Structure 1
C-alpha cells in the first residue's frame, strides 16, 4: 500500500523518523514530506532520498508546538505533493527530572503540545481528505511509548503526554471504525527505550533490552501496514501492563521498583548530547 502513496512524517530528520522516510522511499512511495525543526538535516536527507529513487522527497520546517504552523504546513504539503495517504506522528521531546524541576512553559506546556496535542492537531488537518478518499487504504501511525502505560519517576510530564496520545489514538480508531471509515487504520506504537540518543543514560527494566532504532521502527512500520491497532515492544511492555492490572497499587509499586527496576530506569538519564553539554530536556525524533 506504500507504493504510489504520499507519506508525511514528523520528526523525520533523524532516528526513527529517518528510518520511516527511507523505508517509504524504498517501498515505492510517490512523495514523502519530511517535517522537522532541524532544517539542515531534513533538507540534506531530502536531497539524498530524492537522488536515490523516483520519490519526490521534500523537507518542511514546521514547529509542532504551534497549531498555526501545522495548518500552514499541511497546506504546503497538499499544494506541492498532494494529500497524505500515510501519516506518521513520530516527533517527540522528553524532560527527565522530578516534576517540580519542570519549567511550566518550556517543559510542561511544550512537552504536552509536541507529544500529545500536535498529533491531534495534525491528524485533524489531514483526516477530512483521508475520509473522503476511499480509493486507497490510509494509515495513521502514532509513536507513543511504554511510558504511557505505566507510571515512572522522573518522567511525569512525558508519561502524561504519552498516556494522552494513547487514549486519543485508540478512541479515534474506534470512532473511524464505527462510522464506516475502515479504509483508515490507526496504529499506536508503544516501545520501551530505544537507542536513538533521546533517552541516553536510561536503563532498561528487567528483561527489557534497549532496542535499536531499526528494530523499533521496523515493528511500528509493519504494524501500521497490517492495520494492527496497538503494537507493544518488547514483550515485557505488555507483561508490565498486565501485571499492574491485576496487582494492588502498592504491590505493583514493590514489583516495579524492586524486581522489574522500572522505577529506577531514569535515575541516570542524561538525554542526547551533541557537541556541548545538553540540558535535561531532549527534543528528538523518537517519542
Structure 2
C-alpha cells in the first residue's frame, strides 16, 4: 500500500507523564536532524493514552523544552487522547478477522504460568484464554470480569507469512537494509483493555498511518517492538515506514535514562545554567 505523501514526514512522540531528560532531547534532535537531511517535516505527537499518569502540564512542558532546544513543528499537535474512536475502529477490524480474544488472566496468573519472557523481559503469556469456549467468554464479559483483549499472534503471523521492514543507518540516507520481523517472540500481546480501546502498539501504528509518517526514528530499546508494529500494519492494510534505531543515552552506571529513575530533566539542567548548545554537546550532537 503506497504512502499517500511524497514528502518525508517524521515524528517525535513522547508521553506527558513527566519532564523530558537528555535521552528525550537526543531522540528529538535526531528526529529533527533526519527530517532536515531528508528535506522533510518533523511532527510532535503527544502519546497520552494513560489518563492516570499523563498530565496537561507535562504536555505543555514538553513543548516548552523543545522550543528551548530550538525545535518547531506544524500545528495543531495530535494528542492520542482525542483519537480513541480511531483505535476502537482498528480493534474492531482485528475482531472482524477473528484475531482478538478476551483474556481474564491477572498479571500474577500470567507470571505463575509463564515459561519464558518476551524481548522486554516480561513474563510471556502462555495463551491460557486463547481457546476458551465462546459461551464462557460471553458469561464472563457479561459478568463484568476484568478483561484485556489479546492478539492471537500465532494466527496473525500464519496469515501474514514472512514479514519484512526497511532500516536505515544514522545518516538516514544510508543504503537501506531489509529486516525480518519476528512477532512470535512477543506471544499474544495486549492490544485493548476494558475501558481503554488501545495499547501503545495499536495506537502508534494507527497514528503513524494517519499522519503519513514515512520514517520512524526510535531508540534501540524499541527495536524488538517493531516486530509487532509491522505485523499490525499488515493486518490493518497500512504502510510500514522506514525505521532508524538510534543509540541510547546512558547514565554513569550504564543504564538508560528514565523519568522513573529520576534522571535529571531538561528543566533542571536549564535552571542550573545549561544552554541548548550544552545539551547538544552532552548527547554527542554538538557542532
Q: Same fold (TM over 0.5)?
A: no
TM-score, normalising length: structure 1: 0.32
TM-score, normalising length: structure 2: 0.32
| Structure having greater relative contact order (Cα 8 Å, sep ≥ 6) | 2
Between Structure 1 and Structure 2, the one with more helix by share is 1
> Highest Rg: 1 or 2?
2
